[in-house]
Amino acid sequence: MPEDKYNSVWVSYSSISDFLKCPRLYFLRNIYRNAQGNKINLITPALSLGSAVHGALEGLSKYKAEERFLIPLEISFEEEWKKISGKRGGFKSIQEEADSKERGKNMIARVTKNPGPLLNKTVKLKEGHNGTPPNFYLSKEENIILCGKIDWLEYIESDDSVKVVDFKTGKNKEEKKSLQLPIYSLLLNALQKRKVSGASYWYVDKDDQPIPVDLPELAESKEKVLLEARKVKTAREKTEFTCHYGQGGCFACRPFEKIIQGVAEFVGFGEYGQEMYII
């Protein structure tokens, strides 16, 4: 089958997660376009907090290792916060924003005191064509493309390897059945040549250092991810995106239904041009 990326089924950790939560949620966030031809999305304080912290931390990779902390990390965080302040970040009161920002500042302070792997050299996966996220054909025969970004890739000079560091800003630990690490394994295997010598989750809300986690076997990763990607493809082909809970919807899709019904508040446009709303 000839390559046809424009008509391929693109999947990522976030889109597959949407589908597993609720097929209707997947449709409304990843496929649906309104009368203006725009996609829609919901913004919440938790998402905004994560975006600001990730933006500040991931932004460090633009600098050489020895220059990385010459500019205080808190300054970078303040710049990131400006992008999501007020209703644009889903905040409904000054106090709600202040509390969320304080949590973020504490995370930034923790990393500043304990920079760990962020002091070392890093590498990046190359972006796809026209600025798309790093991607490759998970299955050329089925025309399925897997894409995704990795928060941080620490370069280990001693054995010319890389280690994955994934920043976590939420309060809950990543579930063992999560597809995040399998997807990272597949991306790294397909898009770069160095061996992967380790991976960790860094819960910056409470842990001073990243917590090592086991990377799954490559064959097992592909089997798991391809299984779910095929479900997404089948749903798209059949145009079947019914909520598991029926017509009344579930906690995941109901807020998006409110956007369509016109009872949500528009607060601006997101990074990729989607209309952003708060409930």
Q: pLDDT tens across 149-160, in order? A: 999 999 999 999
Assigned domain for 260 exists: no
Calculate the average pLDDT of the chain: 95
Distance CA 121, CA 155 (A): 5
Assigned domain for 57 exists: no
H helices of the chain, in order, are 13-21, 23-30, 45-58, 73-82, 94-113, 180-191, 218-238, 254-261
Assigned domain for 53 exists: no
Two structure tokens written together for 69: 């902390």
Assigned domain for 123 exists: yes
Quick one: CA dihedral 107, 113, 116, 120, positive or negative? positive
Number of domains in the chain: 1
* Cβ atoms of 135 and 141 closer than 8 Å: no
Assigned domain for 77 exists: no
Q: pLDDT tens across 165-211, in order? A: 999 999 899 998 899 999 999 999 999 999 999 999 999 999 999 99
Strand-strand pairing, 135-139 and 144-147? antiparallel
Listed residue (201, 213, 197, 120) closest to 166, CA to CA: 201
Query: CB atoms < 10 A from the CB of 170, how many?
Result: 12
Q: pLDDT tens across 217-252, in order? A: 999 999 999 999 999 999 999 999 999 998 889 999
Structural domain boundaries, residue 142: 5-22+116-240
